[in-house]
Chain A
Amino acid sequence: MSQKMEHQPVSLREKAHQIFSTAKSVAGKAEAEIILVSRVDEYLRFGNNELAQSQYSTSRNLSVRVASEKKQGRVTTGTLDKASIEKSVEKAISQARNSPEDPDYLPMPGPQKYSPVDRYSEKTVEAPAELKASYIGSAMDLAKKNHLLASGVLGTSVEHVMMLNTSGLEASYRGSGGYFSLTMDADNGNQTGFALSTFGDIGELDPNRVSQTALERARLNKSQAEIAPGKFDVVVDPYAWSEMLLFFAVSASTGYSPDLGMRQYKEGRSYLSGRLGEKILGDNISIDDDVYHPSQAGPPFDGEGCQKSKVSLIENGVFRNLASSRISQRRYGAVATGHELPLPNPLGELPTNLVIRGRGTTKTSEELIGELDKGLLITRFWYVRETEPKTKIVTGMTRDGTFLVENGEIKRPVKNLRFNQSLLELFSKVDAVSEPVRNFSEFRQFRILQPGILARDFNFTSVSPF
């Protein structure tokens, strides 16, 4: 079914203003901020060549922040009748009253100017479930013809955000998007292939290409050879990264808190504290936070409604800049870049729209494979976790197709391998890159554009039995 009816931005705007009016009157002299988020999601999930789990979800979520005398409280509710809103604001007032003073409290920001982003696709919003089911049906037919099982999900989401505060700020955003993730396998996953595509406009999705890629990899990935672990040159498919590159920006050592913000850097909590100006990656690698990149997603404002700026975090391998906010502006005299989380936020600033890119001409995945003399092609990483924060050593597995490449050609599949690899070292040994793509991540707050790479000396440490 269409996701259109639930998403009339004008009515949500009106609703937000009605709510805000109620919130203001209850808050009295206190400052108040509301964030109203409305979502509609439709997911068609399939497994074993069956459309097994179809779901349609609608939600509206109101978050109210009240601040008075440097104390703040936040209350979130999904119940939007007048009495419930009044109660929520009263709770937020009570919570603020009972909280300690926040040493970083600032009056709420006033009206802001935002650079527009165009992230709302009528095609995606109006795409009927029948169309999506037909894409899945074709994938399942292809799998059946080849004696394989198709599993995966085709999901679309529509989001509308309204933010208002008593200093006169008003921000709004609407966006849509989705992804098609597909596995074709047989023999209890001993033969398996994976493909993924993300999109803002469902018209950009080529479902046949996704199906053909999964099929081709599953056909190739049969009777895998065991190879001894060790260092290999690799080509990593741009959709293979899973959550791996998130660890550039987040550390387990401080309880999965963000690293690339000014506050954590200055407090010494970041693994990069004290290293501004140092070369930490190869000359040919840069990392930006850029919500305005055409392949990015999400609103152009942060958790307190300030406009996000593009930040060049790492330029040609050199650690140059940090994400910042009004709090860091006051604390350290930094230029605020609009990377605050909803307040109160004790963790620090978070760049949510990373773009990892290479210098020079980008190549296709096929060209990267063609340049690999001897090494491995990785089509999917899995279950990646940090083991050491200083050099960002992460461990994880390969899955759904790891292939030995010789003289630029795929020779044979190999069994899955575990790796222990420093991200800083890996991105210092990159010879060539592809265009970055948006990889779907279960960590919804992060949207990372990640390139495919050809890199040297990737450290594999053990082999799985399959």
Chain B
Amino acid sequence: MLKHDRFQCDSVISTKDLGEELARISLDLAKRENATYAELRLVNTRTEDVSVVNENPASEEASTIGVGIRVLYKDLGWGFADTDELEHDNIRGTTKKALALARGASKLGIKVTRASEPVHVDKWESPVKKDPFRVPTETKYELLQDTTKRMKEKDIVARRGQMNFAIIEKYFANSEGSKIFQVLSYAGVSAIVAAKGPTGVQRRSIQQSTGGGYELIDEMDLPAQALEITKDALALTRAPTIQEGKSDIILSGDQVALQVHESCGHPIELDRVLGYEANFAGRSFLQPDQLGKLQYGSEHVNIVMDATLDHGNGLGTFGYDDEGVKAQRKYAVKNGKFVGYLMSRETAPRVGETRSNGCMRAEYYKLPIIRMTNVSLEPGTWDYDEMIEDTRDGYLMVTNYGWSIDQKRYNFQFNTEKGYRIKNGSIGEMVRGPTYAGITPEFWNSCDAIANKKSWVLWGTPNCGKGQPGQTMITGHGASPSRFRNIRVFGAS
């Protein structure tokens, strides 16, 4: 039986000790079988999900532990196998399965060159102020019931509150000598209310996911926000839609975060640029010959890829990625110019880089692929209120409802939950389902104002899909409200 190193210790062997033991077995075997490179991840995960929908409660606690083993054979073929049966014989068997797949792949592969990475022997732990697994389930339910009760009004048809927590202990070792133990903690919270009226069902929601623990739930104070979003949802059932046309728009920070995710985060993934995602996630309009040349956005636009804790405790914050590369901070877009990709050790040399910037991430039972870390729009210089005051005629659009973008990340359309007309520097009438659409580089080049640090929040996207079979990853995106000029707008209906 395993013990969690930090939480609720009640057993005899730690994830780290077990990881070391299993890595010795697997990496020795891979070496004897002439693997050029091998790595093992032991991942011990504990999660809790608590929700209330209308009057109905539901909760689930889950724990998984397993090993993912990746090997490279003759520098020509990769193989990956995983198991949740951790007996020594089974670890040997799983290593052999990975080797067999790697040998097979080597017959249809091409020479793999990997960027070098220093050997790391280290421990890293994400900060947690309030351990969520020590907060009683009863307390969590009380807060969610309080939230959903406050939403109870005539014409409200759905009331939903939810929180989820995860602690992940991860041991990584590779054949180059790296031995890394990490403890990563995450929390998420959301509330959704839906009202039915003359315009159909209208939704308002709040959602945030970050690194850390129950302190997020305290900070978000769902019951306090429940009344406001309920009032909004009811008002939206009677609000007008907007006329199709061109307009200046100001997007709320959470909407900018999703815009960064979809129109910058994905096209800078180097695996899709090189064609390895062509069948599913797609390719990218950001080609290597445009590095350092393409004016991706206006001079105000600076986008970083930052997995370090200095950036904040986000869903893309860690000490090391899942191939043992240390967390780094790099620019993807600097003063509007496209300057960098999210990379792996294998892909970095393909664009002339000598080191990966550490973006390989996956659950233990999935092959690591390039994923976003924290891909964030740096704050600008505008005070948010001054940005509104400076806008003569436009719309403020708040919180995403739906999002869609083509496979190269060019043509996008986002609709938001609510909006307001801005007239002569003042926020006016509420509008329902305001939608904006555009072409990525044209859109970011139209950005002329970004709110300052006071309005900047590191948002979380807990459900980014990519890969085959499908993988879900958590990613972070810092953003503040931003203004875009002369954008195509229309109503969702």
Q: Known contacts being A1-B97, A255-B192, is A50 close to B406, with CB within 8 Å?
A: no
Nearest CB in chain A: distance from B148 CB, A: 10
Please pick, from B58, B107, B201, B465, the residue contacting A344 in the complex, using a CB distance under 8 A: B58
Q: Tell me if A206 counts as interface (CB < 8 A to partner B).
A: no
Which of B216-224, B272-280, B386-394, B421-429 touches A?
B272-280
* CB–CB A464/B410 < 8 A: yes
* CB–CB A387/B81 < 8 A: no
* CB–CB A269/B57 < 8 A: no
Which of A128-136, A288-296, A309-317 touches B?
A128-136
Q: Tell me if A384 counts as interface (CB < 8 A to partner B).
A: yes
* CB–CB B404/A74 < 8 A: no
Q: Tell me if B104 counts as interface (CB < 8 A to partner A).
A: yes
* CB–CB A47/B157 < 8 A: no
Q: Which residue of the partner chain B has the closest CB to A196?
A: B279
Q: Tell me if B51 counts as interface (CB < 8 A to partner A).
A: yes
Please pick, from A45, A57, A397, the residue contacting B365 in the complex, using a CB distance under 8 A: A57
Nearest CB in chain A: distance from B345 CB, A: 14
Please indicate which of the listed interface residues A50, A87, A273, A416 has the most CB atoms of chain B within 10 Å of its own CB: A50
Please pick, from A1, A58, A133, A345, the residue contacting B83 in the complex, using a CB distance under 8 A: A58
Q: Tell me if A328 counts as interface (CB < 8 A to partner B).
A: no
Give bound CA distance, A133 to B202, whole Å.
Answer: 49
Chain B interface size band reads 35 or more
Residues of chain A within 8 A (CB-CB) of B243 are: none
Residues of chain B within 8 A (CB-CB) of A395 are: 402, 404, 413, 415
Q: Which residue of the partner chain B has the closest CB to A252?
A: B402
Give bound CA distance, A8 to B145, whole Å.
Answer: 45
* CB–CB A344/B158 < 8 A: no
Q: Which residue of the partner chain A has the closest CB to B10?
A: A87
Residues of chain B within 8 A (CB-CB) of A463 are: 411
* CB–CB B278/A183 < 8 A: yes
* CB–CB B433/A75 < 8 A: no
Q: Tell me if B291 counts as interface (CB < 8 A to partner A).
A: no
Residues of chain B within 8 A (CB-CB) of A181 are: 279-280, 468
Residues of chain A within 8 A (CB-CB) of B94 are: 58
Q: Tell me if B182 counts as interface (CB < 8 A to partner A).
A: no
Please pick, from A140, A346, A397, the residue contacting B404 in the complex, using a CB distance under 8 A: A397
Which of B21-29, B72-80, B319-327 touches A?
B72-80
Give bound CA distance, A188 to B410, whole Å.
Answer: 14
Give bound CA distance, A77 to B283, whole Å.
Answer: 37
Q: Tell me if A228 counts as interface (CB < 8 A to partner B).
A: no
Q: Tell me if A388 counts as interface (CB < 8 A to partner B).
A: yes
Please pick, from A81, A182, A389, A391, the residue contacting B1 in the complex, using a CB distance under 8 A: A81
Residues of chain A within 8 A (CB-CB) of B54 are: 267, 346
Nearest CB in chain A: distance from B315 CB, A: 19
Q: Tell me if B105 counts as interface (CB < 8 A to partner A).
A: yes
Q: Known contacts being A51-B108, A53-B367, A254-B194, is A268 close to B62, with CB within 8 Å?
A: no
Query: Which A residues between 213 and 261 are near B, CB-CB below 8 angstroms?
Result: 251-255, 257
Residues of chain A within 8 A (CB-CB) of B110 are: 50
Residues of chain A within 8 A (CB-CB) of B205 are: 255
Nearest CB in chain A: distance from B193 CB, A: 9
Residues of chain B within 8 A (CB-CB) of A51 are: 77, 104-105, 107-109
Q: Tell me if A68 counts as interface (CB < 8 A to partner B).
A: no
Q: Tell me if A18 counts as interface (CB < 8 A to partner B).
A: no
Please pick, from B59, B61, B203, the residue contacting A255 in the complex, using a CB distance under 8 A: B203
Q: Tell me if B19 counts as interface (CB < 8 A to partner A).
A: no
* CB–CB B407/A57 < 8 A: no
* CB–CB A383/B63 < 8 A: no
Give bound CA distance, A102 to B199, whole Å.
Answer: 33
Q: Tell me if A301 counts as interface (CB < 8 A to partner B).
A: no
Chain A interface size band reads 35 or more
Give bound CA distance, A152 to B279, whole Å.
Answer: 5
Q: Which residue of the partner chain B has the closest CB to A94?
A: B137
Give bound CA distance, A77 to B51, whole Å.
Answer: 20
Residues of chain B within 8 A (CB-CB) of A98 are: 136-138, 141
Nearest CB in chain B: distance from A256 CB, A: 10
Q: Which residue of the partner chain A has the closest CB to B160?
A: A255
* CB–CB B66/A78 < 8 A: yes
Q: Tell me if A83 counts as interface (CB < 8 A to partner B).
A: yes
* CB–CB B200/A390 < 8 A: yes
* CB–CB A344/B277 < 8 A: no
Q: Which residue of the partner chain A has the closest CB to B407?
A: A399
Give bound CA distance, A76 to B138, whole Å.
Answer: 19
* CB–CB A397/B84 < 8 A: no
* CB–CB A55/B101 < 8 A: yes
Nearest CB in chain B: distance from A128 CB, A: 10
Q: Tell me if A393 counts as interface (CB < 8 A to partner B).
A: yes
Q: Tell me if B100 counts as interface (CB < 8 A to partner A).
A: yes
* CB–CB B1/A382 < 8 A: no
Please pick, from A48, A99, A100, A464, the residue contacting B406 in the complex, using a CB distance under 8 A: A464
Q: Tell me if B82 counts as interface (CB < 8 A to partner A).
A: yes
Give bound CA distance, A36 to B175, whole Å.
Answer: 35
Give bound CA distance, A389 to B58, whole Å.
Answer: 26
Q: Tell me if B64 counts as interface (CB < 8 A to partner A).
A: yes
Nearest CB in chain A: distance from B88 CB, A: 15
Q: Tell me if A212 counts as interface (CB < 8 A to partner B).
A: no
* CB–CB A253/B203 < 8 A: yes
Query: Which B residues between 278 and 337 are near A, CB-CB below 8 angstroms?
Result: 278-280, 282-283, 285, 287
Query: Which A residues between 334 and 352 are near B, CB-CB below 8 angstroms?
Result: 344-347
Residues of chain B within 8 A (CB-CB) of A151 are: 275-279
* CB–CB B492/A347 < 8 A: no
Nearest CB in chain A: distance from B273 CB, A: 9
Query: Which A residues between 317 and 363 are near B, CB-CB below 8 angstroms?
Result: 344-347
Q: Tell me if A189 counts as interface (CB < 8 A to partner B).
A: yes
* CB–CB A60/B468 < 8 A: no
Q: Tell me if A208 counts as interface (CB < 8 A to partner B).
A: no
Residues of chain B within 8 A (CB-CB) of A47 are: 274-279
Nearest CB in chain B: distance from A263 CB, A: 9
Q: Tell me if A123 counts as interface (CB < 8 A to partner B).
A: no
* CB–CB A55/B81 < 8 A: yes
Query: Which B residues between 120 and 164 are near A, CB-CB below 8 angstroms?
Result: 136-138, 141, 145, 157-158, 160
Nearest CB in chain B: distance from A246 CB, A: 13
Please pick, from A1, A56, A416, the residue contacting B411 in the complex, using a CB distance under 8 A: A416
Give bound CA distance, A384 to B277, whole Å.
Answer: 18
Residues of chain A within 8 A (CB-CB) of B105 are: 51-52, 54
Residues of chain A within 8 A (CB-CB) of B1 are: 79, 81, 83-84, 87
Give bound CA distance, A383 to B94, whole Å.
Answer: 36
Query: Which A residues between 106 and 153 are near B, CB-CB below 8 angstroms?
Result: 129-130, 133, 136-137, 140, 149, 151-153
Please indicate which of the listed interface residues B105, B202, B405 has the most CB atoms of chain A within 10 Å of its own CB: B105
Nearest CB in chain A: distance from B478 CB, A: 24
Residues of chain B within 8 A (CB-CB) of A41 are: 469
Nearest CB in chain A: distance from B38 CB, A: 15
Show 22 residue pairs from A and B whose CB-CB distance is below 8 angstroms, ordered by the A residue.
A52-B105, A56-B82, A60-B84, A79-B1, A95-B59, A98-B141, A140-B108, A151-B277, A153-B280, A188-B287, A254-B157, A254-B194, A255-B160, A269-B194, A273-B157, A273-B196, A346-B51, A383-B404, A388-B433, A393-B493, A397-B404, A420-B413
Closest A-B pairs by Cβ, 4 of them: A390-B200, A346-B53, A346-B56, A47-B276
Given contacts A151-B276, A189-B407, 14 further A-B contacts (CB under 8 A): A48-B276, A50-B110, A51-B108, A56-B80, A57-B81, A57-B366, A76-B60, A78-B63, A153-B469, A254-B201, A255-B205, A344-B57, A382-B407, A418-B404
- Chain B residues engaging chain A, CB cutoff 8 angstroms: 1-2, 51-66, 77-85, 94, 97-98, 100-102, 104-105, 107-110, 136-138, 141, 145, 157-158, 160, 190, 192, 194, 196, 199-203, 205, 274-280, 282-283, 285, 287, 365-367, 369, 401-408, 410-411, 413, 415, 433, 435, 437, 439, 465, 468-470, 492-493
- Chain A residues engaging chain B, CB cutoff 8 angstroms: 1, 41, 43, 45-48, 50-61, 73-79, 81, 83-84, 87-88, 91-92, 94-95, 98-100, 102-104, 129-130, 133, 136-137, 140, 149, 151-153, 155, 181-183, 185, 188-189, 192, 194, 251-255, 257, 267-269, 271, 273, 344-347, 382-391, 393, 395-397, 399, 416, 418, 420, 442, 444, 461-466
